[in-house]
Amino acid sequence: MNKKEEQKNIKRIMQDIEQFYKNLEEVDKNPSNFYIIDLATKYCQDASYWLKKGDLFTAFGCINYAHGLLDVFRLKQESKTNKTF
């Protein structure tokens, strides 16, 4: 990977981490989803860790997994609101 591609990937991962925390604010936190939200947050923290270490592949995997876990609750809430699912 050349420097330009690497910088593009770093920027993308940083944006994904930032978006995770914005999305996290949208989720209703309660005892029934605490464990999964905590796990998603830890994956996001892992993404930051691996990004700082320069392991973009692992950072990208961690942040995508974090978003996937969080999206379950976001989509569930959205479906209750919109009744489209």
Instruction: State the virtual CA torsion across 48, 42, 68, 75 in degrees, nearest 10.
Output: -120
Q: Which residue has the tokens 């942040």?
A: 63
Within-domain flag for 84: no
**Structural domain boundaries, residue 64:** 32-76
CATH number at residue 45: 1.20.1270.90
Output the pLDDT for position 65.
Answer: 97
How many structural domains does the chain have? 1
Within-domain flag for 63: yes
pLDDT in tens, 11-26: 999 999 999 999 999 8
pTM comes to 0.86
Within-domain flag for 47: yes
Within-domain flag for 22: no
Within-domain flag for 36: yes
Within-domain flag for 54: yes
pLDDT in tens, 29-66: 889 899 999 999 999 999 999 999 999 999 999 999 99
